[in-house]
Amino acid sequence: RKEVEQDPGPFNVPEGATVAFNCTYSNSASQSFFWYRQDCRKEPKLLMSVYSSGNEDGRFTAQLNRASQYISLLIRDSKLSDSATYLCVVNSWRWDMRFGAGTRLTVKP
Amino acid sequence: DAGVIQSPRHEVTEMGQEVTLRCKPISGHDYLFWYRQTMMRGLELLIYFNNNVPIDDSGMPEDRFSAKMPNASFSTLKIQPSEPRDSAVYFCASRRGDRGRDPQFDEQFFGPGTRLTVL
């Protein structure tokens, strides 16, 4: 089983749609969680950290479920500029940051 | 701040040649990471350093790969001899402080990557 697993997609949604991504991780001792965004042929960049209580940043909401060992990202009112690959990242004491393979999102007009 | 700097941005070489990738982390960052990204395998951690000391190199694929960090502002990843299956984008990333003490220290900043093609 991979340490961090994501649905690779692609997710093709119209502008204005709400889309959600899930990510599961195998190490129950994992400590911190993130979503990174990667545009085509660019480097990954931090989108948001994921806190235990859940957190929101504008149209983006991240949730953590430790019992089920998954994190989620919800994007509301999708914009064309949201088209990218979204990487789930998990960090623990045993191994440093481990990235999921990414979920590709395409927002269409 | 210039961010993480990598060179070269693109490298095309022939099988069997030595390849050296270079990275300059963000000043003041204690951690430096080397990643490899391919379509098939995604983003893989190869090795990381803390205060210039290699901490975990379990991701280095084989003895053909080596990494050094002679000082806080410079690191190299070397492949000798290179093979076509090494073709990938190699990213360097740096991070400020110890993970776990404060989540804000956990963000990694990536360089633009080196796109390596081995013919």
B68-95 tens-digit pLDDT: 999 999 999 999 999 999 999 999 999 8
Query: Among B92, B104, B105, B107, which residue's Cα sits nearest to residue B33?
Result: B92
Nearest CB to B110 within list A32, A44, A91? A44
Mean pLDDT over B93-104 rounds to: 70
Tokens standing for residue A104: 């590709």
DSSP string, B6-27: EE-SEEEE-TT--EEEEEEPPT
Tokens standing for residue B106: 């956990």
Nearest CB to B103 within list A49, A87, A99? A49
Query: What is the per-residue pLDDT across B1-12, written as a single tens digit (0 to 9) for each?
Result: 689 999 999 999
Q: Please count the other Cβ atoms lying within 10 Å of the Cβ belonging to residue A20.
A: 12
Q: Is the CB of B56 less than 8 angstroms away from the CB of A95?
A: yes
Does residue B55 contact residue B75 with C-beta atoms inside 8 Å? no
A40 touches chain B (CB under 8 A): no
A50 touches chain B (CB under 8 A): no
Distance (Å, rounded) from C-alpha A90 to C-alpha A28?
Answer: 11
Q: Please count the other Cβ atoms lying within 10 Å of the Cβ belonging to residue B10.
A: 11
Q: Which residue has the higher pLDDT, B72 or B98?
A: B72
How large a percentage of chain B has pLDDT more than 70? 92
Q: Is the CB of B99 less than 8 angstroms away from the CB of A46?
A: no
Nearest CB to B42 within list A42, A46, A99? A99
Mean pLDDT over A11-21 rounds to: 96
Query: What is the per-residue pLDDT across A54-88, written as a single tens digit (0 to 9) for each?
Result: 899 999 999 999 999 999 999 999 999 999 999 99
Is a pLDDT exceeding 80 seen at residue B106? no
Distance (Å, rounded) from C-alpha A18 to C-alpha A78?
Answer: 6
Query: What is the per-residue pLDDT across B12-64, written as a single tens digit (0 to 9) for each?
Result: 999 999 999 999 999 999 899 999 999 888 899 999 999 999 998 988 988 99
Whole-number CA gyration radius for chain B: 14
Q: In what order do the strands lie in the sheet with B74-79?
A: B5-7, B19-24, B74-79, B65-71
Residue with tokens 């690191």: B75
